[in-house]
């Protein structure tokens, strides 16, 4: 474990004067030296515009940029032309809802979502439903925080145009059976859009095997820099879609009154691209390729078993398959107060509605506390978290 942790310099800092115990990985992961070095190398040795220059630096940076696309595509089992770079998964999901949805949805078409979705996979569909007259419908998770495939099929039989669903819940930790969901949806000619923000950092993703039509993810949750995400979409779908945004770099020809778009993927990447961020994300992918994919080493289950000993605790979600996320509340204590006290012990956890208000409404709570782990977290840190949590509870009750 020390061999892994040495790659993350921020783990050596203090938080409120205490040793940092970083447990907010589901929001943003930490960044290893190799990613930082790759970004610095770009700015110091081949800083130039991508796709716009014939001079040597321009050729180098363009090659590095497209090599990064190839690497990231290969990492998730996609072809390079199927990868569109965006600012984050939020922009990716907006791209799908707007660019695909505006042209393909009409009045009374059904958009199917679940009540465990992040706001980023709800609000874009709400907006496009209002623009097109399409109808939003929802599948609700059960007492364990899982989706029922029979209920999904019952909805699909009603003629659903698109199903947009999270691969893994950022509150419940639930890993949804996306491959089975896609197979089921395609039987009824329904497209499937997957929010992969929480799954891509923890699972080996193969979009070809999943057979999803769209797959969105963010770099900053998987060791990469902020400001970079990606959208995978099947090539035949991308070729039929019009651009979400327009400008330089995504055109073949421009006249005074009409313009002609270039080929995918560049058709969906207007303006100067996020070069350093793309290169940084590619470096993050390289790091993830090298680590042990059993790296979550049961730490969430370990913490859950210890938390169950605490009086008045409610832990949300008991799925059969989960990411290392533990969301909970303590009776008569506000999650924000817990987060404040733990902060002064050096421990960072998330509190609030987690950008999942419909999920919170289903649970009949206004918010909760969430500890989320990654492969660089240790069992020692887990013990510190539980110990200081108990101390905080005693102070607040």
- How many domains does the chain contain in total? 2
**Is residue 150 located within the same domain as residue 9?**
no
pLDDT, position 397 = 87
Does 321 lie in the same domain as 299? yes
Give the pLDDT confidence score for residue 159 in this predicted structure.
96
Domain stops at, among 263, 289, 315: 289
Tell me how far apart the alpha carbons of residues 1 and 8 are, in angstroms, rounded to a whole number: 12
Identify whether 303 is part of a domain: yes
Q: Tell me, yes or no, whether 225 lies in a domain.
A: yes
Same domain, 247 and 213: yes
Query: In the listed set 262, 289, 316, which residue is the last one of a domain according to the structure?
Result: 289
Q: Does 73 share its domain with 41?
A: yes
Q: Could you tell me the residue range of the domain that residue 247 belongs to?
A: 36-289
What's the CATH number where 358 sits? 3.90.1150.10
Q: Are 298 and 270 part of one and the same domain?
A: no
Same domain, 392 and 252: no
Do 331 and 269 lie in a common domain?
no
Of 239, 268, 289, which one is at a domain's C-terminal end?
A: 289
Residue 67 located in a structural domain: yes
Residues 53, 103: one domain? yes
Token pair, residue 223, equals: 């060791």
- pLDDT tens digit sequence for 88-105: 999 999 999 999 999 999
* Cα radius of gyration (the chain): 22
What does the alpha-carbon distance between residue 199 and residue 116 come to, in Å, rounded to a whole number? 14
Same domain for 118 and 89, yes or no, is: yes
Answer yes or no: 193 catalytic: no
Structural domain contains residue 183: yes
Catalytic residue among 182, 193, 355, 368: 355
Report yes or no on 153 lying in a domain.
yes
Pair 56, 188 in one domain = yes
CATH number of the domain that 102 lies in? 3.40.640.10
Domain annotation covers residue 282: yes
- pLDDT at position 52 is 85
Whether residue 361 is contained in a domain is answered as: yes
Instruction: Give helix then strand counts, H and E, for the chain.
Output: 15, 17
In a domain, 31, yes or no: no
Q: Are 90 and 97 in contact (CB under 8 A)?
A: no
Q: Is 107 exposed, middle or buried (0-12, 13-18, 19+ CB in 10 A)?
A: exposed
Closest of 223, 207, 202 to residue 280, by C-alpha: 223
Strand, helix or coil for residue 343 = helix
CA distance 319 to 97: 29
Kindly list the distances between the CA atom of residue 108 and the CA atoms of 105, 129, 264, 308, in Å, as whole numbers in the listed order: 9, 9, 31, 46
pLDDT recorded at residue 181: 98
Considering the domain architecture, whether residues 180 and 228 belong to the same structural domain is answered as yes
Same domain assignment for residues 247 and 276: yes
CB 378 within 8 A of CB 179: no
The whole-model pTM stands at 0.96
Return averaged pLDDT per consecutive 10 residues of the chain, 397 residues in all.
91 95 98 97 94 89 96 98 98 97 97 98 98 98 97 97 98 98 98 98 96 98 98 97 92 94 94 96 96 72 96 96 96 97 97 98 97 96 97 95
Q: Distance between CA atoms of 157 and 5, rounded to whole angstroms?
A: 49
């Amino acid at each position: 474990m020390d061999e892994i942790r040495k790659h993350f310099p921020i783990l050596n800092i203090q938080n409120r004067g205490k040793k940092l115990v970083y447990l907010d990985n589901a929001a943003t992961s930490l960044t290893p030296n190799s990613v930082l070095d790759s970004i610095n190398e770009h700015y110091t040795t081949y800083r130039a515009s991508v796709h716009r220059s014939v001079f040597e630096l321009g050729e180098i940076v363009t090659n590095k940029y497209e090599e990064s696309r190839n690497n990231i595509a290969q990492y998730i089992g996609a072809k390079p032309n199927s990868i569109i770079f965006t600012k984050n998964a939020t922009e990716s999901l907006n791209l799908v809802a707007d660019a695909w949805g505006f042209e393909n949805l009409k009045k009374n078409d059904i958009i199917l979502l679940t009540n465990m979705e992040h706001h980023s996979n709800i609000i874009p569909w709400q907006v496009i439903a209002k623009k097109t007259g399409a109808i939003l419908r929802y599948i609700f998770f059960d007492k364990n925080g899982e989706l029922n495939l029979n209920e999904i099929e019952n909805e699909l039989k009603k003629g659903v145009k698109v199903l947009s669903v999270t691969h893994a819940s950022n509150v419940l930790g639930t890993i949804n059976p996306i491959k089975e969901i896609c197979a089921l949806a395609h039987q009824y000619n329904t497209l499937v859009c997957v929010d992969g923000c929480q799954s891509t950092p923890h699972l080996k993703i193969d979009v070809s095997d999943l057979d999803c039509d769209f797959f969105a993810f963010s770099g900053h949750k998987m060791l990469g820099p902020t400001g970079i995400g990606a959208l995978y979409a099947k090539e035949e779908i991308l070729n039929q879609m019009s651009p979400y945004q327009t400008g330089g770099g995504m055109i073949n020809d421009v006249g005074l009154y009409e313009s002609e778009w270039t080929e995918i993927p560049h058709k969906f990447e207007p303006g100067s691209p996020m070069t350093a961020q793309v290169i940084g994300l590619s470096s993050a992918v390289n790091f993830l390729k090298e680590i042990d994919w059993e790296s979550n080493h049961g730490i969430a289950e370990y913490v859950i078993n210890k938390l169950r000993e605490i009086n008045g605790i409610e832990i949300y979600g008991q799925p059969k398959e989960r990411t290392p996320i533990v969301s909970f509340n303590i009776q008569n204590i506000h999650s924000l107060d817990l987060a404040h006290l733990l902060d002064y012990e050096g421990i960072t956890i998330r509190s609030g509605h987690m950008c999942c208000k419909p999920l919170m409404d289903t649970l009949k709570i206004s918010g909760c506390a969430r500890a989320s782990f990654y492969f660089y977290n240790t069992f020692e840190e887990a013990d510190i978290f539980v110990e200081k949590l108990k101390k905080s509870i005693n102070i607040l009750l």
